[in-house]
Structure 1
Amino acid sequence: MNMAHLDGKVAIITGGAKGIGKAITESLAKEGVKVVINYNSSAAAADEVVKSLTEQGYDALAVQADVSIVEEAKRLVEETVAKYGRLDILVNNAGITRDRTFKKLGKEDWDRVIDVNLNSVYNMTSASLSHLLESDNGRVISISSIIGQAGGFGQTNYSAAKAGMVGFTKSLALELARTNVTVNAICPGFIYTDMVAEIPDNVKEQIVSKIPKKRFGTVDEIAKGVLYLCRDGEYITGQQLNINGGLYM
């Protein structure tokens, strides 16, 4: 097995201050990766993650940027390279939902979800690619969703964006196959986050009843998938890693 040594590598995690992003950030930091936690509006949460990690002896930096805006994505990458001198891992995790049935879905809610969830992937990958190509083990990992594979009621905007991430992943993986950069997507199923915690209990029970493993996934299980691709994924590219308890096969 050709394992990449992660100690001293540098990673940007967009939306890295909360939920799945936070778990990914912490998982990589504990492997010796210098983590750049991107956030848009969650300054307090990002600062708390940095404080916690630095107190444990890990190297972490928080950088505010709206990665749906190309200039801000470029600034995020520039600040990272200015600070650490390199970039090895990009985790495209920034995402929002604006759920509406299509009849009620306005253009503003369509555009915002596509901008944050999909256009940010272009913005960040484009700004990062020249640096990733200089790494001996460059990684682009985008957090897609089971909704991009199977669809979701009232989620045409979110589903389209997440499916777009998968198509982006496959095509870029082909283009970069002869380089040291791998490109993959992770498609989580229903993961227990703060958002899920707010769902009424009876609705949670209905969701769990449809999952073959009969439970929600955890944010740490998604983080383990990212870590696996970073550390052991030398021969894995253009793939969708489905972490969903068997809900979509």
Structure 2
Amino acid sequence: MNTRSLCLALLSLLPLAQLHAAELTLELGNGRQRLSSAQLLSHPQTQSIEINDDVSYKRSMRYRAVPLAVLLKGVQPGDHLQLVASDGFAAELPAAPALSQTGSQAWLAIEDPAHPWPGLGNGKPSAGPFYLVWQNPAASQIGPEQWPFQLAAIRKLNPVAQRFPQLLPAADASPAVQAGFAQYQKNCMACHRLNGAGDSQFGPDLNVPHNPTEYFSGDFLSRYIRDPQSLRRWPQGKMPGFSAEVLSNEKLGTLIEYLRHMAGRKIQL
């Protein structure tokens, strides 16, 4: 075999080698732990599960998965979790639904190098090597932003309001604005920062230099949130649309109220 052929052969093995070497980092307040794909696949509670209406694959999927709760040693229902993907997506999640044994159940799906998952689109990688999936997500109002794929780390952190006071509305803000802040944490923080606050490395800041309520007139902002490609179409657009089933008209209204409120609370970066 000549040198070129050898290099091509080695390159062809890279995805498999990287999958074999994949590690999930746990930072749960008791030190840092790294678990490999092989360790998780051999975990005594790992089993085959069926996920109906998978958020990422848009169809039913079968996975080898371990209940997320068994990995969250020392985590209490009142704690707060952050789930970080390899591309900088950072989902915020109360610990209670992740620990629940009834209603919604959270599973860590593990991609088996011997049986890789399909790509998420033409030329795109799979959701692996680790993917947080849910059975019966509606029971705990789990939204699509709380299904992080290509998961790299799970952290126990202080709640968002404690970590990022720059996100807080004014103390006398209306109940609608306060409710919108909750919707922002659930649906927007995984991709966006606001006033420079947040851990996501994925999307643009939603207040600095300009808040979307300052440049979307009429109902264009709500239309954009519902279906981004209907207003701005480009091949690499990654923002998902938020249907009424995911984000009701009432909740969407409160989210926009929060954004409009925060336009008056800019922090210079």
Report which of the two has the higher share of helix: 1
TM > 0.5 fold call: no
* Bigger-Rg structure (1/2): 2
Report which of the two has the higher share of strand: 2
Structure number with greater CO (CA < 8 Å, separation at least 6) is 1
Q: TM-score, normalised by structure 1?
A: 0.25
Q: TM-score, normalised by structure 2?
A: 0.24
